[in-house]
Structure 1
């Protein structure tokens, strides 16, 4: 588990992970998982996030207390091995799925992070000069689960 959480460095420099916190925005705006977005100004104090070319958000970095651990989550069925020998056992040497048990989630560590980027709606009339910064584009389906130690 520890190996998946180590910081990576290469010729270009170290990777740094930041959690994008949209909790303050979600009560005002509905964002689908596949909605396109543009993230600009990550190297500034107040990065901007533009969702679907319509919704503008401004962010502010906050240091975490301790280290946040980020995990990916996948569906994984629960498998049960054969419990003992039986003359009438039709499933000898095989794993079976318990149909009465709810499927579990497979959780894998992705990264550690020290910063959270909290976003809020950008009010009209605020200077948009930060859009000159390099941007990161993607869609909102890149989801992870984070816990804090």
Structure 2
């Protein structure tokens, strides 16, 4: 049997939307990306869900990781780059590069029962609006028909009388 190989893929992810301090505490922790090869992957970070899409970056994103300063060759050089930021100098090692990023927005899940109830409410509301519009339309037609009905229309006899009186 062939051994299973794991491919490592590095992705730059930009999270937007409702993000609180609890999400920021999860930075650097393990996450799960569902459908990474699809146009709209889903990221699960702790109990938070994000959905998004791939975008091109302006330029190239270069990825580094923090590392211990180690000498790799006989000249005493290291494969890490010193970063003088903050009180401690940290060493950075080149990890990879990418020209794509994953823009993700906060997503909220609702229970199926709640979604179905919301759909029924919307449907009932639409039906109520349609029936009230239909009722108002029927009422307007009835009122218009009443105003068009002759109430004291002249009869042929009354027209003859009017002609005799005028003459």
Q: TM-score by structure 2 length?
A: 0.43
Rg bigger for which structure? Answer: 2
Q: TM-score by structure 1 length?
A: 0.47
* Larger helix proportion of the pair: 2
* Larger strand proportion of the pair: 1
